Structure 1
Amino acid sequence: MEKVLMVGTGDVGAHLLEFMAREDYPFEVIVADIDEEKARLLCNNAMIGAAHHGKDPHFRPVKIDLFDVEGTTELIRKEKPSAVINLTVMHTWHLIRQLPEDVYAKISSAALGAWLPCQLTLAMKLGQALKESGVKAHYINTSLSCLTNPVLGKIGLAPTIGIGNVDLIAPAVRTYIAQQTGVPRASVETYQVCHHQHWVYPR
């Protein structure tokens, strides 16, 4: 059975786990997080939910510390996954909103540049471990990939692919247009550019 190593069980990771639990493709998902108990609970929830749909996913929670590149390398060598999915960041994107308003405004004035260190660090560590393992796996990076993937590419750790935020907005835009015009949502098609323009300073 093919294996997928999914690293990170935050907001995006938890959602992806639920989607993967309902896939028909027979693969084992190794769900890795620094908090193994959290990973175990999310695996259980996803498997229970999938059972309602007649699905029987194969999930296995494990502990991982991406700052331990050697340990991560050994895990990848041992498991030999076909794909490695990075869903990690140093802290969640909305944490900055807890800062005092003047500090928040100053940091946000740097736009996406202010986010590069917290988005890049763990993706880079995982990429290093994958490269050092010698395992030929697809590397999927979800951590602000429109910004981090070019940097990873410059240092020889280019992911196979990333994900962006534009398609997260598309369903809301299509729903709004359908509601305002009475046109069926399935008939509404959008073309969007300027990823993260909705998100960066000023907000």
Structure 2
Amino acid sequence: MGGLIPLGDASRPPTRFAVVTTLIIVLNSWMFLQELTYGNRFVWVWSAVPYRIVHGHAWITILTSMFMHASWMHIIGNMIYLWAFGREIENAMGPIRFAFFYLTGGVIAMSAQILGDPFSRIPTLGASGAIAAVMGAFLITFPRDRIRTLVFFIIFFRITLIPAALLIGFWFLMQVLNVGVVTQARTGGVAYLAHIGGFLFGVITARFFVDRSRIAYRWG
């Protein structure tokens, strides 16, 4: 078993504290604790159920579901990716623009999944779609940056630098080739359609959100 875990941008360390990225991680963590505390009833009330939404009910869950997760591995993995890519995109956009971009990307991603399977009664949840939007924006904004990445295979691992275009491009290719459920759990999960929808949103809209005057080049 192997994989790639992005740890951060080695070419462009953040020049400002990423307050919104940090708050998003805190909010996701708090929501996950609520899930652990209140169980299935909490998940059912606040996660996005496509069948329920297309019939005009619980539209707020399109937003709330993007702060929920199906398991410890699900939230840990998502928050690692958010921390790796979100800080630089927040620096490039500014906190307010980034917050709007992140939330809009998450809503677009959830909507893509709902439209892809509108009669599903399985709860859909996770920050993956919004994070995919961040990754799409990163690809457009910093394609040549080198990402410090943990590469592992069974018990062997090493940290290496991988170009953002290669790492994120490979990630997106996997989403396209594996259209299906991201995580399988009793409560359902976020679908690859949400990843694709969020990513495309980020790629298409990044240039409208990024403030070039905020970008600091620090090649290392």
Compute the TM-score of the two structures, normalised by the length of structure 1.
0.28
Q: Would you tell me which structure has more helix in proportion to its own residues?
A: 2
Higher relative contact order (CA 8 A, sep 6+): 2
Q: Max radius of gyration: which structure?
A: 1
TM-score, normalization by structure 2:
0.26
